[in-house]
Structure formats: structure tokens, C-alpha cells
Amino acid sequence: MSTKTEAELEGDRRILTLKNLMGRSLILNRPEALNALTHPMVLAIKKQLLGWQKSELCNVIILRSNSPRAFCAGGDVVRVSSDWESGNQRGAMQFFLDEYAVNHLIASYKKPIVALLNGYTMGGGVGLSMHAAFRVATESTVFAMPETNIGFFPDVGASFFLPRMDGQTGTYLGLTGQRLKGRDLVYAGVATHFVPSERLPMLEKRLQEIDVVDFNVVNRAIEEFVAQPEAGEMDYSLAGVREAIDRCFKFNRVENIVEALRQEAEAGGVEGEWAAGTLERLLGMSPSSLKLTLEQLRKGGSCNIQEAFAMELRLAEGRLGSHDMHEGIQALLVRKSNDPQWQPPGIEAVDMAKMYPEYFEKRSDYQMEFLDGAVFSEYPYAFGLPSEKEIGEFVRGESPQAGDFALTRSEVVAFFVGKSGNKVGVREKVNWVLDRKSRELPDSSVLQWVK
């Protein structure tokens, strides 16, 4: 008779499972810590996902929390920092090795995974959900990647997914840790669907009834529970500042971003007010983390999924060996004084030329061991709203589906609405993008892409 280790017992307590018909649910059960991921929890998730992938009795997997407050508010970085500082460096790095391997497994999983993002979804919780084919937001969902605030960097695959968001949205979210809420996640591309939280139990039951491994069938099942937005409205908190985000965060040096925000703030108005608040927030982050993160995101745009995680593993080792990560964790999460003493204290004092070899060129003693061999440069499944890139390629005739003739607005909208199966939110987003990025040619109703 085998005896489980203490870590395995901890994983069993914190990761619950539910089997019903052909559905399997993984339930995060650490509500007192907003389901922050511990190493035993990561290992328990890994074990279940590997087992269910082989099972002929499992067609769909639901990831959810047992608490309405949080899906998962991050990883247990306090423990990781403590391990490193006490000399258990291998233990600290093993957390990231296993966490990133699970993130990659979710990204390459051969069966539909549906993440129900009710409540706080941050850091490690984003890693559990963002790579899933289906991410369901509710009115209580709060998304953020706030790692620069603790001297770390956006990890769990953020090197891959943030650069692939519309325009400079991912750069903005990665540097500032800005929160998105509710429908924001759908319009930003973080979530694929918006379902009111009161419908989640019915949705889970419906998913458990699916008798075939088919991503399109799962997508249609979720669509049955989606809530309609207000007629013709884009309920997106970044809608009014998206052009300013692109203007300010397009640069490859943090100093240039700071200067652009200052100039935007001086111009006043809604965008000026946003810029002033963003600048204040940005200047409170770890300066070295900001520069490291910007370089990470610029490189991540050309990385495949495995390269992104391998890069993040090197960065994690480097930050664990830095002052700022441990200082940030202590100031914000342990003593909660919110007064981190960054070293260096200002952006101008951070020499990226010296940091670069240490973080991006030095060979690590730790190497990623992936649980699946999948390598791709774009996610294999796309069930969210169309991206600005897709819309632009279609309008410019660069998409094979665009044909040889210039298109009118109604034709563009009709194409994307039809392609999506009349998905909720497609019409609103396509019209919003066309309003900002195109114009009708004189004496003609056809569109020209102008930005």
C-alpha cells in the first residue's frame, strides 16, 4: 500500500476534482489565500491533466474555483522567495519549472479546457487560464499581471500572449499591471466569452453532457449562455484611450515611454488624465523590472511557445538573484508597507546593456522539460473576438478570404460576423476597429486602412 507524501496530500486538499458524465472539473480550493498557487497545487493539476488527457471517459475539462472571490490571484511567491533566500534555490526554481510546464501543457492540450474566471485572475491564475482554448469571464472577473510591482516580470507565458494582443495593449498591461474587469477581458482578447456568474453552474452542467471531443461543439455550448451587450455599445474601459496607449507604449526604451506619457498628460483631456495616472503608476514600479519586462515583451513577439517559456525560466532565475524581487515581495506582500526600496531607485540608473547578458544570454543551470512537444507561434485555437491584426489584413486584401476587390464596411462586418457564427461582440468590435483604423474613400463606400 503506497503512502502519499505531505506535498501530495496538500495538493489533494487544495485541488479538488469532480467527475460527471463526460466532463471533469478541476476546482481550486485555497480560498483563504485567493487560491494562490503552491507547488503541491501545481503538481496536483499536472497529475490530473496528464491522466485525463489519456482517458476515453473525459471529453472536456473545466477549471474553476470554489470561491466567488477569486479564480486564482497568483502564485505563492512569498514561499518561493523564502526558499531562495534560505538557500533552497533548487526548490524555488522547481516551482517555476513545474508551473511553466503545466502552462505549456494547457496551451497544447488535445481536449477542450474551459477556464471559468470568476473573481480575481492574476499572475499564476492567468497562466492557468490564458493558454486554455476557452476563457469565460463574468461580471466579477478582475484580470491583471502586476509583477513589476513586486520587482518580478510578467511570466507564466506572458512573453507569448501579451505581445500578441491588439496594438500596444499587452505592453501597457505588462508594464503597469493595470486591471481589466468583466467584458474588458473579451474585447482585449483575454477571455473568449462573457457569461454572467449566475449561469456558471448551468454552463458547467451543459459542458459535462458533451459526448464528443470537439472544440467547436464546446464553443457552441458556451455561446448558449453568453450575455448580450447593450445594443451597439462597446463596454470596454480602454476604448477611449486605445490610440493613446499605442502612441505612448510603442517605444523600445522605457525612458521614451515615460516621456511620451508626460507629453500626453500635458495635452490634457481624457487621454491626458489617463496618461498622468499611468505615469504615476509606472514610476512606482521596480525600474529594473520595467526595463527587463519591456525587453522581454519585444523579444516575445517573435518567440514560439516553447522559446517564450524557456526565456522566462532564465528571467525568473535572474530575478530571484536580484534585490528588487525579494524587496518587492516583502514590502507589498509580507510587511505590507507598500514602500519598496528599489535598487537602482530610478529608471535612468538602470543600465540595460549590463543587465541584458545576465538575463538573456547567460546559460542557466535549469532547463525546461515540457510535458508535450507542441511548438507553435500562434495559439492553435481562436474562439475569441477577431483581432485588430485580422481585421486589418482582411480590409487590406492580405487575407486569402478577402478576394480581389475593395470592401465596404458592411461587407467587412458581415464577413467576421458570419465567420464567427454570429458570435456575441463581433459586430461591436469590428465596427469599433473600423471607426479607428479605416476611412471610406471619396465618392465610394469602400474602405481604406489608414493606421
Burial label for 7, CB within 10 Å (0-12, 13-18, 19+), is: middle
Residues 345, 350, 355, 356, Cα dihedral to 10°: 140
Catalytic residue among 10, 76, 147, 166: 147
What are the angstrom distances between the C-alpha of 162 and each of 95, 145, 293, 339?
Answer: 22, 10, 11, 28
User: For residue 201, what are the contacts with CB-CB under 8 A and spacing of at least 6?
Assistant: none
Pick the closest to residue 82 from 42, 40, 38, 115 (CA basis). 38
Q: Which amino acid is at 385?
A: L
Say if residues 254 and 347 touch (Cβ distance below 8 Å). yes
Catalytic residue among 11, 23, 74, 75: 75
Say how many C-beta atoms besides its own lie within 10 A of residue 444's C-beta.
10
Catalytic residue among 11, 119, 124, 182: 124
For residue 7, give the 3-state DSSP assignment.
helix
Phi and psi angles of residue 206, each rounded to the nearest 5 degrees, phi first:
-65, -40
User: For residue 282, what are the contacts with CB-CB under 8 A and spacing of at least 6?
Assistant: 175, 176, 257, 258, 261, 290
Pick the closest to residue 174 from 77, 79, 276, 291 (CA basis). 291
Catalytic residue among 10, 76, 83, 155: 155
Assess whether 75 carries a catalytic annotation: yes
Assess whether 155 carries a catalytic annotation: yes
Cα–Cα distance for residue pair 259/18, rounded to 1 Å: 52
Cα–Cα distance for residue pair 151/328, rounded to 1 Å: 5
Q: Hey, which residues are catalytic here?
A: 75, 124, 147, 155
